[in-house]
Structure 1
Amino acid sequence: MSETYAPQVAEVTGQGMITLRGDLTAAEITTAIQSATGLAVPAPRQITSDAERALAWMSPDEAMLFCPRAEVADVLAALTEAFGEAFATCVDVSDARRIYEVSGPGARECLAKITPAPMAPERFAPGEMRRTRLAQVATALWMPAPDRIRLICFRSVAQYVEDLLAVSANPGGGLRVFAD
């Protein structure tokens, strides 16, 4: 266990989220997404990003685009135009989801207590995206950096998730599962 168990939990605000549905292996879809967002469609369980945006693989026919909230309308218009007649959809889900970040010493341990997803460094690394659950609610986890883990949940369960994270992050609650 880390000598210090002090994970910090914070809601991430100002983040726009667009769900993209379509065959993520079809050239017309991947080309449209890349031309409209500047990001390549990630491999399964991966996330691609630049300084402002990230594109997460969610399933064989779903990706989630994270961008500044102020850009959502413009990005939706660019995606709609790029998709043209292709069998694909894009929808602003920014108001239907919440994002939280767990960071600092003990971040992995904090989440290991409440998710069945493996949190050990050799099993979950920066650039990976994983759909799972926290206790009894659906969530997706990704690591933008080694000491930061972000998670997305539905807005309808956000207070439950926030409370769950707060209890799991309590001082003295570290686990003896990860070597430093």
Structure 2
Amino acid sequence: MSNAVSALQGAAFNDGIADVREMGLQGMITLRGDFADKKLIKAIKGIAGAMPVVRAIAQKGDSSAAWMSPDELLIMVPYAKVSDAIEAVNKALKGTHFLAANVSDARAVFEVSGPKAREVMAKLAPVDFAPDAFKKGMFRRSRMAQVPAAFWMNGEDSFTIVCFRSVAEYMFDLLSIAAQAGSEVDAY
């Protein structure tokens, strides 16, 4: 059996207005089901501490659940624990209509951090990143340039971005170019 490796094996760009880095392996589960189902709500609370509301992420420790659509969540757990998490979800939701699929190896995860992280994000996504409009815990699915992506703030000056693994290098290049020194627009 081969060892899993992340898309860009920790690539980083640290010579600009913000730092960009590939975050390594992340356990991810797509969960589709009825958000009103009490079993599903209880299972998500056990993983992420709360059921996320629309366009938000719920986090507890190193696990989280993000609202992706009216019937889809993205559950994130440490990579080594994804099988256990799927087994727990399958057990908790037995007898209900749902789908839980491990999508860990199909995704890449990046972080953009620093005082100008909002500027970097604003250059690439059609979202209002002003401090009063986009806050920690908010979650969006959108495009960053031509790439479908999901992102959220994980700190005051830090964003996490998830995209398909097949476009990981392109995403890293987009983020790095947007973070180049001298590219400030002082939007915020």
Fold conserved between structures, TM > 0.5 = yes
Match of 1:161 in 2: 171
Asked if the contact 2:48–2:65 (Cα under 8 Å) also holds between the matched residues in 1, the reply is: no
Please state whether the residue corresponding to 1:121 is helix, strand or coil: coil
Percent identity reads 42
TM-score, normalised by the number of residues in structure 2: 0.88
Counterpart of 1:66, as a letter, is: M
The RMSD of aligned alpha carbons is 1.2
Q: Note the 1:1-150 alignment, pairs <5 A.
A: 6-35=17-46, 37=47, 39-150=49-160
**C-alpha displacement at 1:26, in angstroms?**
2.4
Q: Distance in 2 between matches of 1:83 and 1:148?
A: 34
Can you list the C-alpha shifts for 1:30-62, whole angstroms capped at 9, x where unaligned?
Answer: 123334x25321111111111111111111101
TM-score (norm 1): 0.92
Q: Whole-Å Cα distance in 2 between the matches of residues 62 and 156 of structure 1?
A: 22
Question: Is the CA contact (8 Å cut-off) linking 1:107 and 1:148 kept in structure 2?
Answer: yes
